[in-house]
Amino acid sequence: MLIKRKDDIKSSEITPEHLYYNRREWIRMASVAMGGMAVGSIMSENALALTQDYKPKAKGPYDTDEKLNSYKDITTYNNYYEFGTDKSDPVENSGSFKPKPWTVAVEGHVKKPAVYNLEDLLKPFKMEDRIYRMRCVEAWSMVIPWMGFPLADLVKKVEPTSRAKYVAFETVFRPAEMPGQKRPFLKWPYVEGLRLDEAMNPLSFMATGLYGKELPNQNGAPLRLVTPWKYGFKGIKSIIKIKFVQDEPPTTWNIAAPDEYGFYSNVNPEVDHPRWTQKTERRIGEFRKRPTLMFNGYAEHVAGMYAGMDMKKNY
């Protein structure tokens, strides 16, 4: 997701995983050598157990049955610029972030605006598992077993008025705990948005966990958005504000590079990123590239929302 010069692209598109793992291995060896129990090795053992022990509940209508990415893949290869721009920065730099206690402000055109304690906000919702195929705009993908609840449940609970046409989301701003926010990588706080019908679509999901456990900080604890038919950057993390608005809200990556990242950001193999193709992707953990699917394979559930819209213009 970096705004890069052309010659940098290859390194982001084809992740130098061997370098990355070598670096983690080096950190592990170095901390063993220093006499401490390596954080990395504890993490690996737990991650392996979590991956192996996870038994998803009954398969739901929106779940993919593709092979899950491992807990380790999902929690050590992240985009979360508040903690740095490298894929390994979020896991390494988010240890001091405090996702508890947490409040979420619901504002704008709703009958029930309020600042909710997260526990109170979550109380009425039935938690479920959702196994989603996730596609990053950088042309890699993963399969992630999320835990959480449909965003539509939250929307219904706060009762939007007829003036609410879009939902705007905002990430917490805490530079003391999020070292990346001390630097202008992006305009802080991170913001995102959906059209109201997109927010109400049964696929739109508010995740509070993955692999049946609470969300780790690097994945957006304690509450993040998941919209599996859109590029991953729509999935705003650590949400503190949800505002119902009349006009299309600003979004962080569109502010950063308007020609590259639009408001809709629907996964579309026919619309290339200006600097690379979106026709194929690399599933993390696999070598060979695979074709990218329209709406990331979720067309039957979402295509109707964009009928008549020019998807090249509304990228």
Smallest separation, CB 1 to ligand MTE (Å)? 4
Q: Is 216 left (phi over 0), alpha (psi -120 to 50) or beta?
A: beta
Give the separation between CA 256 and CA 248, rounded to whole angstroms.
Answer: 17
Question: In 3D, which of 76, 71, 89, 79 has the Cα closest to residue 139?
Answer: 79
Q: Which stretch binds ligand MTE (CB under 6 A): 74-82, 196-204, 261-269, 272-280?
A: 74-82
Decide if residue 141 touches ligand MTE (CB under 6 A): no
236 to 275: interface string for ligand MTE, x by CB under 6 A: xx--------------------------------------
Instruction: From 32-40, 73-81, 96-104, 276-284, give the range in contact with ligand MTE by CB under 6 A.
Output: 73-81
Size of the site for ligand MTE (CB under 6 A): 16
89 binds ligand MTE (CB under 6 A): no
Pick the binder of ligand MTE from 233, 263, 295, 315 (CB under 6 A). 233
Which one of the spans 110-118, 230-238, 285-293, 294-302 is the region binding ligand MTE (CB under 6 A)? 230-238
Q: What is the rounded end-to-end Cα distance, in angstroms, of the chain?
A: 16
- In the block, residue with structure tokens 């966990």: 209
Nearer to ligand MTE (CB atom), residue 80 or residue 102: 80
Kindly state whether residue 80 participates in binding ligand MTE, applying the rule CB under 6 A: yes
Q: Is 136 in the site for ligand MTE (CB under 6 A)?
A: yes
Binding of ligand MTE at residue 1 (CB under 6 A)? yes
Distances 156 to 151, 159, 292 between C-alpha atoms, Å: 9, 5, 33
Task: Out of 97, 116, 188, 190, point to the residue binding ligand MTE (CB under 6 A).
Answer: 190
Closer residue to ligand MTE (CB): 109 or 315: 315
Choose, by CB under 6 A, the member of 43, 70, 81, 164 that binds ligand MTE: 81
Q: Angle formed by the axes of helices 39-53 and 17-33, to 10°?
A: 120
Q: Is 181 in the site for ligand MTE (CB under 6 A)?
A: no
When CB distances to ligand MTE are compared, the closest residue is 232
Question: C-alpha angle with apex 236: 283 to 160, nearest 5 degrees?
Answer: 130
For tokens 């997701």, name the residue.
Answer: 1
82 binds ligand MTE (CB under 6 A): yes
Amino acid at 196: L
Q: Taking CB under 6 A as the rule, does residue 94 contact ligand MTE? A: no
Among 12, 88, 201, 219, binds ligand MTE (CB under 6 A): 219
Residue of 108, 193, 232, 297 interacting with ligand MTE (CB under 6 A)? 232
**Does 149 contact ligand MTE by CB under 6 A?**
no
Other CB atoms within a 10 A radius of the CB of residue 187 amount to: 11
* Nearest in space to 160 (alpha carbons), one of 108, 86, 214, 100: 108
Nearest distance in Å: CB 159, ligand MTE: 27
Interacting residues with ligand MTE (CB under 6 A): 1, 78-82, 136, 171, 190, 219-220, 232-233, 235-237
